[in-house]
Amino acid sequence: MARTGGLHRGSPVPRPDATRVFVVANQKGGVGKTTSAVNVAAGLAQLGQRVLVIDLDPQGNASTALSVEHHRGVPSTYDMLVDGVPLTDVVSTCAEVANLWAVPATIDLAGAEIELVSVVARESRLQKALAGHPWIGSAAEAGEERFDYVFVDCPPSLGLLTLNALVAGREMFIPIQAEYYALEGLGQLLETVEMVRQHLNPALTVSTILLTMYDARTRLAAGVSEEVRSHFGDQVLATAVPRSVRVSEAPSYGQTVMTYDPASAGALSYLEAAREIARKGAPR
């Protein structure tokens, strides 16, 4: 299959000095979490970055959108977390977009929460896997072949899988739907983040919040946007992603919206969000 997404869209952005590891999480379902993870990842790849997506959601929606096989028996995040298979052995290339790789999630991952309970250092399995990959690290350590970005797509719950991501990541990326209950449940997530910071990963920081499903015509969306921005300040990206049928349709064709309809409002917004993340740089 042709790799159609490899062309730079606009000017490429500079590569970070070291791999930036993002945890994409929000335990409230239906907020555009996976959609945002795969489309921002594809957007960064189109801007000349080398990007890895790790699917930690047993539903495997990120794997579907990136068109990587994720049926039972395919090397996956389950093998990496539960059996200790090296990350290098479970990575697949994404056929649709150059510079984009993925670790798929199979249905086996649904049982991983229970299987990990008895494992030693169960919350740091992903951290260990990332540390062992030769393409993850600084320019000096990992060279030109390094991954610039890693996005870990979490399940919509705060169990052991999400905890593994929070221990392994440096930056939190939280998509928030521009709806009435937008901030509901976010308090619980931020409490968990604070707990992880205190006990397991002091480097973790909420660096990026993205407003999704934004309808500029409604007073409600404007009100939610104002509330989120007053609460989180410059952690919130200036770009908001509009409601878009094209964004919703793309995964059913095994694509992100970036290749499914590159000229659509959704694709252009995600590309701009990706550019913003790259320009902003990693937190100090």
pLDDT at 8 over 90: no
Q: Report residue 1's pLDDT band, with 50, 70 and 90 as the boundaries.
A: very low
Query: By residue range, what is the domain housing residue 30?
Result: 4-280
How confident is the model over 39-95, as pLDDT tens digits?
999 999 999 999 999 999 999 999 999 999 999 999 999 999 999 999 999 999 998
pLDDT of residue 2: 35
User: What percentage of the chain has pLDDT greater than the value 90?
Assistant: 79
The model's pLDDT over 154-196, given as tens digits with 9 standing for 90+, comes to 998 889 999 999 999 999 999 998 887 877 778 888 999 999 9
Mean pLDDT of 130-155: 96
Which of 145-159, 170-184, 264-278 is predicted with the least confidence, judged by mean pLDDT? 170-184
CATH number at residue 221: 3.40.50.300
Can you give the pLDDT at residue 195? 94
Burial class (CB in 10 A: 0-12, 13-18, 19+), 160: buried
Residue 9 has pLDDT above 70, yes or no: no
User: Residue 6 pLDDT more than 50?
Assistant: no
Asked if pLDDT for residue 7 goes beyond 60, the answer is no
CB-based contacts of 2-7 (< 8 A; 24+ apart in sequence)? 3/95, 3/96, 3/97, 3/98, 4/96, 4/97, 4/259, 5/42, 5/45, 5/46, 5/96, 5/97, 5/98, 5/100, 5/256, 5/258, 5/259, 6/45, 6/46, 6/97, 6/98, 6/99, 7/46
pLDDT score recorded for residue 12: 84
Domains: count for the chain: 1
